[in-house]
Amino acid sequence: MTRSVLVPSSLTREAEDKREATRKLGYVARAAVVFRVDRLVVFPDRGSEGRFDDGFVSTVLEYAATPPHLRKEAWDRRGELEYAGVLPPL
């Protein structure tokens, strides 16, 4: 059985800056690992007219799911990942 969780793209709408938005997404990723979720799906919703779009949300969650020893090879420098250091270990 596959466990999937839908994440709204407006999740980071109330965040004041990228650091807070990245931290919030890190908490979601960490909870998904703790509860053994197989897949996180980002869906667009009406309230997503914030500073951070669904591309930001999906990029940060994909980065968090990448094993630490592969991150430098798999990811180049991006503006969305400016505060990736605040992500909790999974």
pLDDT tens digits, one per residue of 3-44: 999 999 888 888 899 999 999 999 999 999 999 999 999 998
Which residues neighbour 77 within 8 Å (Cβ) at sequence distance 6 or greater? Answer: none
- Residue 16's φ and ψ, nearest 5 degrees, are -80, -30
Evaluate if residue 49 carries a pLDDT over 90.
Answer: no
For residue 1, what pLDDT is reported? Answer: 87
Phi first, then psi: give them for residue 39, nearest 5 degrees.
-150, 135
Q: What is the mean pLDDT of the chain?
A: 90
Domains, the chain, ranges and CATH?
A: 4-85 (3.40.1280.10)
